[in-house]
Structure 1
Amino acid sequence: MSMDVHHLAGRPVIIGGGIAGLMTALHLAPEPVLLLSRTPLGADASSTWAQGGLAASLGDDDDPALHLADTLAAGDGLCDREMASRILNAAPGAIETLAGFGVRFDRMPDGTVRLGLEAAHSRRRIVHAGGDGSGREIMRALVAAIRSTPTIEVVEGFEARRLAVVDGKIAGVLASGPKGPAFFTTGRAVLATGGIGGLFVDSTNPLGSCGQGLALAARAGAVLADMEFIQFHPTAFDGSNRPMTLISEAVRGEGAVIVDETGRRFLDGLQGAELAPRDIVARAVWRHLANGHGVFLDVREKPGSAFARQFPTIASACARAGIDPTRDLIPIRPAQHYHMGGVAVDRDGRTSVPGLWACGEVASTGLHGANRLASNSLTEAVACARWAAESVAGSPDGGGKLAMVPHLPAPDPGPVRPLLSRALGVTRDGEGLKEAAQALLPLSQRHDAASDPAAVGLMIAIAALRRRESRGAHFRTDFPHHATLARRSQITLEAAIAAARELASSPELEGVI
């Protein structure tokens, strides 16, 4: 099959059409840029599905130092304090930037931004747009801004399959489009591809978000960080639909409670109860389900009759399932929701591979630590997009070149989903992680549709196996306590493959972080 070659004359390529990718492109303007999107803009991005909004210290009783304290507490010892402080101090400005692009934030009668409360926040600081449709409203405004910016060329229906690396530097992007393979020569590429929800059976994310950006970076030789930390949202609608419908934490912020089939609030013994950090609530719900109970969200008293007005997206999902939240309990269970790990980046979004940047969920900035504080992710994407764009603009192109890279079929996470769902769920143990690593190793090296999802899964499994402790969202039943020293983890695909091979020959070997 012939390949279309596009010589971009020094233009950077942004891979991904969510909030992180769109904001990076807009901040690069008026520098010409190419934006690659697997689907029509906004059609299948996790950003569009975001309900919770953005966290920013805008209230009279709040400031970035308080926001930072809550973030560090949720991150359970693994946040990069300096980077977290930088991002959270930039959060109020990020809201102004989005408003400047036309985002219609929810406001009080006096015109000030309405602030909501979510778990583990000590203040009301969640900014919404359209109630629980925040992501959709933000994407509407940003897509309109992209379409009206002449220096941004949008190429839709193209999925990046490999990054070309020549002499240790980015040389181009191999993608698959409607007419077959295409190669875009560039010495500057930005990954903004989102998360890994498609690798799990139960997830609140689009099934197409299967870690392809992580695979692109890993096969280009990049270092990845904190891959073992995967957040499970405690309140996904427990029905037959996949992906699962998220029931925003903001519902609990407005007073909803979690009960079992007897009506008992079994979280009463937890500090913070329904508004405890997500990892704690998710494990408590998971254990209660495992013990044979049903678990439900009760919104009948609070928010009560205001539920449909405040949370129209969730109310519509309930109606489609035949549930009237003003009278009925809403069945819930934990589901994969967000990946705290990702491609390791510096303060400006640069990865360990020259010419490659990463932004948004695909990147690991150190903000989230072991457990993301609710609604910090969109804030991170907006703030970091500016810094990444400034870094890209200030870097020489490096000269993109046509390079020979293998063309692979579209990634298919189907063979990987059962393995990761079983071994890397809300709770883990060493034996399950070893079995998963040994099963993922041959899949990762087959060079077929399952190989990239398997490579990502392998890195997660090895990172989780090495972390012989429980911290934040990573909970091992065989090592239920903190280690003495909190350390972030790093891994490469090469190191993960070597570890899995060694494990196969000596199963008792297990690294320690």
Structure 2
Amino acid sequence: MAVVGSGVAGLVTALDLLDRRPELTVALIDKGVSGESGSTPLAQGGLAAAVGPDDSPAMHAADTARAGDGHTDPRAVAVMAAETPARVADLRRRGAVFDTQDDGSLALAREGGQQVGRSVRAADATGAEMFRALRDAAIEKARNGSLVRLQGMVVDLPLATTPEQPVIGAWLLCDEIAGGMATPSQDAGLVLLRAQAVMLATGGCGGLYAGTTNRDEATGDALALAGRAGAALQDLEFVQFHPTGLKSADGRFQRFLLTEALRGAGAHLLDADGNRFMLDRHPDAELAPRHVVAKAILDQPGGAWLDARMIPDHQLAEEFPTVLTGARTFGFDLATEPVPVEPCEHYMIGGVATDLHGRTSVPGLYAAGEAASSGVHGANRMAGNSLAQSCVFAHRAALDMAARLDGAHADTDPEPPTFGRDTPVTADGSERTDLRTAMSAGGGAIRDADGLQKLGQVIDDLRAAAYRAWGGPKPPMVRDALEVDSMLVSARAIVDSALHRTESRGAHFRTDYPDHDPVWAGRRQRVQLTG
């Protein structure tokens, strides 16, 4: 079994599978240094779960559907809402320590789109605490030899030459590393990992945008890998922009998020005159669904500020140490002044199309976490549901694998992938920078046909330039070029989907089609890559 990605979705898949099938060996593939890649350690707000006395799975499902703006899959939503409390219990069993109240019950934060406080949290570093507990559990599995962590980038998914086309493993471009507690020593180069099944848990596409809360390594790898293997992609036009990224004075993106839980604790959004503007935009004001808040901020001609001065100093220090300290490193003090904010790319809502067990349209290939699209988020993800759905559907995928895997590997000997010239003509990183700038400008939170068409032309021009540098359509066996290739493929698919959906819904807002269109209600766009 190969798990591509070592965030919460990948770790839950590997651990839950080995709990049920301890005789198996799982290869956990990490694209970067452990804890320094992926989005899980960066997640601040919390994990949405109906565990409070005034909450229920039905309320969780209703809030999720409302935030999804008429586009959620009711079956997926019901499954997530019903099963998340059990996944919280799993995390605590594995050692995750969440904030509690004096009576020992979980302390729950209220975030955008939630009727009640629902987010299980560890101050404002919930993802980091979940990752710590899951990584410690994975290290224990590594000690007994059932789990092996490998570091590198998966570049191809070989298929058996059968009508069913089952995935039989993954081609991995290894990093050269000395090894460590859970990672063996590796030489740089291409290796084939044979596996009965492959889980794609590579995260999202934040690296395609200049303004993002994600790391540069989030280059849409799952879209390119799964699409080229023949798997369907869906809902790619829906990319969520978090309303409150910290805005710098010089216009540069800070890549620092001011968690939604601040607004749940009472912080307000102010316009240039110091007035609250969300009161007239939505009944939930600052805790409206994210696409509503993001659009309202972008509508302010003089900019927007987050004012957290009404939150007591002791509460800021205890519940929000990450954002309090982080804002100060950029010259802002949440305790004494409003701080400037702007929407920035945060979450890929669409992704590799899956069923309720993480299965894609290609036998043997699974997807979970931000890389997957089960329909649970609809057109806009509710706060707290990222960690929730990752745990739920990774667990369900692990159960499905445990029931299906028989321990035998395909004996097919696949040809290795082909690459372009060894030394590209250019390697200055300009393609990546130009693409990210163009995506933020034309494919950001507000779009129109003209901007999307111009963006599509920029992508095509960048692809043509890359082909000239590579000596053809295949990138060289160089990490940067391989990531740029994934970025270009993913960006073009996102733009095409955004152009085709001629309405505004959730995170997809078009000024030339500003309203819902009943023709699009419930319609999912599926994308099949041709090469």
Pairing 1:481–2:515 present: yes
The answer to whether the Cα contact below 8 Å between 2:234 and 2:350 also exists between their aligned partners in 1 is yes
Partner SS for 1:244: strand
* Alignment partner, residue 478 of structure 2: none
Per the normalisation by structure 2, the TM-score is: 0.87
- Which stretch has the larger CA shift, 305-314 or 395-404? 395-404
* Alignment partner, residue 88 of structure 1: 81
- The one of 365, 368, 372 equivalent to 1:356 is 365
The answer to whether the Cα contact below 8 Å between 2:69 and 2:378 also exists between their aligned partners in 1 is yes
* Alignment partner, residue 169 of structure 2: 172
* Alignment partner, residue 36 of structure 2: 43
Q: Distance in 2 between matches of 1:42 and 1:114?
A: 26
User: Which one-letter code corresponds to 1:176 in the other structure?
Assistant: L
**1:175 Cα deviation from its structure 2 partner:** 1.3
* Alignment partner, residue 324 of structure 1: 333
Partner SS for 1:146: helix
Q: Distance in 2 between matches of 1:425 and 1:401?
A: 43
**1:307 Cα deviation from its structure 2 partner:** 1.2
- The one of 416, 424, 440 equivalent to 2:435 is 416
- Which stretch has the larger CA shift, 175-184 or 348-357? 175-184
Q: Distance in 2 between matches of 1:378 and 1:105?
A: 14
Q: 1:347 to 1:215 in 2, by over 3 A?
A: same
- The one of 293, 297, 301 equivalent to 1:285 is 297
Q: 1:171 to 1:23 in 2, by over 3 A?
A: same
Q: Distance in 2 between matches of 1:443 and 1:475?
A: 26
* Alignment partner, residue 529 of structure 2: 493
- The one of 135, 154, 157 equivalent to 2:148 is 154
User: Which one-letter code corresponds to 1:22 in the other structure?
Assistant: L
* Alignment partner, residue 404 of structure 2: 395
* Alignment partner, residue 218 of structure 1: 227
**1:407 Cα deviation from its structure 2 partner:** 4.1
Partner SS for 1:414: helix
Partner SS for 2:497: helix
Pairing 1:67–2:76 present: no
Pairing 1:447–2:440 present: no
Q: Distance in 2 between matches of 1:431 and 1:242?
A: 25
Superposed counterparts of 1:108-257, under 5 Å = 108-129=101-122, 131-149=123-141, 150-167=144-161, 168-177=165-174, 178=176, 179-239=188-248, 244-257=255-268
Q: Distance in 1 between matches of 2:438 and 2:110?
A: 36
The answer to whether the Cα contact below 8 Å between 1:37 and 1:157 also exists between their aligned partners in 2 is yes
Q: 1:304 to 1:256 in 2, by over 3 A?
A: farther
**1:401 Cα deviation from its structure 2 partner:** 3.4
Q: Distance in 2 between matches of 1:329 and 1:128?
A: 25
Q: 1:242 to 1:333 in 2, by over 3 A?
A: closer
**1:36 Cα deviation from its structure 2 partner:** 0.8
Q: Distance in 1 between matches of 2:312 and 2:109?
A: 13
Q: Distance in 1 between matches of 2:97 and 2:490?
A: 37
**Deviations 1:432-482 (CA, angstroms, capped at 9, x unpaired):** 212222332464573332222111001101111110000000011111111
**Deviations 1:126-149 (CA, angstroms, capped at 9, x unpaired):** 1002x0011111111110000001
Partner SS for 1:72: helix
- Structure 2, unmatched stretches of 5+, are 177-187, 468-472, 476-480
- Structure 1, unmatched stretches of 5+, are 1-11, 498-513
Q: Distance in 2 between matches of 1:217 and 1:197?
A: 18
**1:159 Cα deviation from its structure 2 partner:** 1.1
The answer to whether the Cα contact below 8 Å between 2:204 and 2:347 also exists between their aligned partners in 1 is yes
**Deviations 1:379-406 (CA, angstroms, capped at 9, x unpaired):** 1011111111112222245616332212
Partner SS for 1:176: strand
**1:182 Cα deviation from its structure 2 partner:** 1.5
The answer to whether the Cα contact below 8 Å between 2:247 and 2:253 also exists between their aligned partners in 1 is no
Q: Distance in 2 between matches of 1:162 and 1:211?
A: 14
Superposed counterparts of 1:10-49, under 5 Å = 12-29=1-18, 30=22, 31-49=24-42
User: Which one-letter code corresponds to 1:64 in the other structure?
Assistant: P
User: Which one-letter code corresponds to 2:136 in the other structure?
Assistant: A
**1:156 Cα deviation from its structure 2 partner:** 3.4
Q: Distance in 2 between matches of 1:489 and 1:303?
A: 46
**1:223 Cα deviation from its structure 2 partner:** 0.3
Q: Distance in 1 between matches of 2:54 and 2:309?
A: 30
Q: Distance in 2 between matches of 1:197 and 1:458?
A: 14
**Deviations 1:340-398 (CA, angstroms, capped at 9, x unpaired):** 10000011111111110001000001100000011101010111111111122222456
- How many matched pairs? 480
- The one of 272, 285, 307 equivalent to 1:261 is 272
Q: Distance in 2 between matches of 1:152 and 1:320?
A: 42
The answer to whether the Cα contact below 8 Å between 1:19 and 1:139 also exists between their aligned partners in 2 is yes
- Which stretch has the larger CA shift, 41-50 or 100-109? 41-50
Q: Distance in 1 between matches of 2:524 and 2:496?
A: 14
Q: 1:162 to 1:119 in 2, by over 3 A?
A: same
Q: Distance in 2 between matches of 1:151 and 1:52?
A: 34
